[in-house]
Structure 1
Amino acid sequence: MRPSALPALEDNYIWVLGEGSGAVLVDPGEATPVLAAAERGLVPQAVLLTHHHADHCAAVPALRERWPALPVYAPDDARIELDCERVADGARLTLPGLQIDVLAVPGHTRSHIAYLCAGNLFCGDALFSLGCGRMFEGTPAQMHASLQRMAALPGDTRVCCGHEYTVANAAFAMAVEPENQALRTRHAQAVAQRRAGQPTVPAILASELACNPFLRCAEPPVRAAVEKHQGRAMSDEVETFAALRAWKDGFAG
């Protein structure tokens, strides 16, 4: 079951898994795209939230005006001020036609979760196509562990992230691994997709493992690039990841 992406706000995606009255929405930050889809037959059966940031959950009140009984599932975080069912790592949600597993992936925020359903990973701002989220609340060790947890999923998993960042992320990834041919191919594909007005996601996890530097901190070319940038040796993967993320935070393109 392949999800579809509704563009929202400046560069967000609201994910839709399923069709008609069987659809599930992930991270609705804006109501307008959902209400427009409703004119084409969308009737959501549930909403899944990955974290508390407004661009991922602000539309819920407006959606409940349209569908008052709409159930919402969210991490256990008081900053999500909604009537919703709180879910945590290891939970399994059973909805009509769907089974959804909950994974804790802290780092971007301390309570960030992801949802795994039918080969699709809805990962919010934890993992991006060719990148990862900033660490607003978590530690490098937490974020690295979360990324490694997602990296261990089957290679054909579709990575359904919350933003259209692929082309910008590719610029940094190529600064880290300029000789990575898989990355060059991926970048060219992403540029062509955007020129055609198409989303670059979902990404395929196997491609991310070959191209995304934040999933490749154990690879010698990535570690060597980080050490050259820092001017010192890295002690382990977590230190490599922390330095890589700091490099990205200051990267001007």
Structure 2
Amino acid sequence: MSELSIRQFPCLSDNYGFLIHDPASGETATIDTPDAEHILAEAKAAGWTITQIWNTHHHFDHAGGNAAIKAATGARIVAPSYERSRIPGIDLAVSEGDSVWLGNVEAKVMFTPGHTSGHIVYSLPGENIAFVGDTMFALGCGRLFEGTPQQMWASLSRLAALPDETVIYCAHEYTAANARFALSIDPDNGALQTYAAGVYAKRARGEATVPTTVAAEKAANPFVRAADPVIRARLDLAHAADAEVFAEIRRRKDAF
């Protein structure tokens, strides 16, 4: 592993900003640009200069600060090729399997449609971390604004297949609400009960519940547990395809 530094901070109403810094090269990337002014201030406080913008998808709370940060720093905008027409000013359009580099630190691009049709994730296998945007949340997943349940289930399954120790940086503080819903779907899950209690305690102290880990989500997040027979029985979907079970969980969350 490198000496990579990560600076996480809340911005807007419930987003997180992330700055990642490679001290060996002096390069710094911002993962998405929810609030340009706040991101630039955080970089200045750390003594870092933003050299790259890595967008996960086109939504305004993820790409809306691109132009201002590029104007202030000259940063290169890296964004999904699948959403090229919806993210202006892209310098490097990337697709499934491409690599992006921060100094000598490699990020692999994973195509994870579902939340949007062209969403991507940046997985840093040498660091055991992944920046997942709005594909996976702690105890949740993104709404299906553009993709299908089948696409999102496949995307979540790919993330769940990363090594258990992979640290997952998701883009919103939704975990307390997600925990309440998860307990309505899987109330007897001891791992979920423990996870939820920890979440409520952290939020009561004003602390972040992000990041999480692949192992924690596999044990407790109902959206990646559609194959679990207990959840299937509770939903009366014992013989349905995994994607159908996932779709029902997502439908219930949307109405929760």
| TM-score tier after normalising by the smaller chain length | over 0.9
Secondary structure of 2:13 counterpart: coil
Relative to the length of structure 2, the TM-score reads 0.92
Give the structure 2 partner of residue 72 of structure 1: 77
Number of the residue aligned with 1:133: 142
1:110 corresponds to which residue?
A: 117
Asked if 1:56 corresponds to 2:62, the answer is: yes
1:13 aligns to what? Answer: 16
Q: Which moved more, 1:53-62 or 1:16-25?
A: 16-25
79-88 vs 206-215, which moves further: 79-88
Aligned to 2:107, what secondary structure does the other structure show? strand
Cα distance, 1:107 vs structure 2: 0.7
Among 176, 184, 206, the alignment partner of 1:167 is 176
CA distance in 2, matches of 1:210, 1:38: 35
Per-residue CA distance 1:50-107 (angstroms, 9 max, x = gap): 0000000111111122102x11110111111223210000001123131110000001
> Residue 235 of structure 2 aligns to a residue in which SS?
helix
1:150 counterpart = 2:142: no
Which 4+ residue blocks in structure 1 deviate beyond 6 angstroms? none
Provide the TM-score with structure 1 as the length reference: 0.93
C-alpha displacement of 1:179: 0.9
- Tell whether 2:132 aligns with 1:123: yes
Distance 1:3 1:9 in 2: 19
CA shift, 1:188, in A, is 1.4
SS of the residue 1:39 aligns to: helix
Shift of 1:144: 0.4
Partner of residue 222 from structure 1, selected from 231, 237, 251 = 231
The answer on whether the counterparts of 1:130 and 1:173 sit within 8 Å (CA) in structure 2 is: yes
Partner of 2:30: 25
The CA deviation at 1:184 is 1.1
Could you tell me which of 175, 200, 206 is aligned with 1:197? 206
Q: CA RMSD, aligned part only?
A: 1.5
Cα contact 1:159–1:204 (8 A) shared by 2: yes
Separation in 2 of the partners of 1:32 and 1:222? 43
- What is the deviation of 1:182? 0.9
Work out the CA distance in 2 between the residues paired with 1:10 and 1:226: 33
Q: Indicate if the aligned counterparts of 2:28 and 2:102 stay in contact, CA closer than 8 A.
A: no
The letter of the residue matching 2:68 is A
Instruction: Quickly say closer, same or farther: Cα 1:45–1:184, change in 2 above 3 A.
Output: same
- Which of 177, 186, 198 is the matching residue for 1:177? 186
2:220 to 211, 215, 231: 211
Any gaps of 5 or more consecutive residues in structure 1?
none
Equivalent position to 1:36, from 27, 38, 41: 41
SS of match in other structure, 2:34: coil
Alpha-carbon contact 2:22-2:28 (below 8 Å) kept: yes
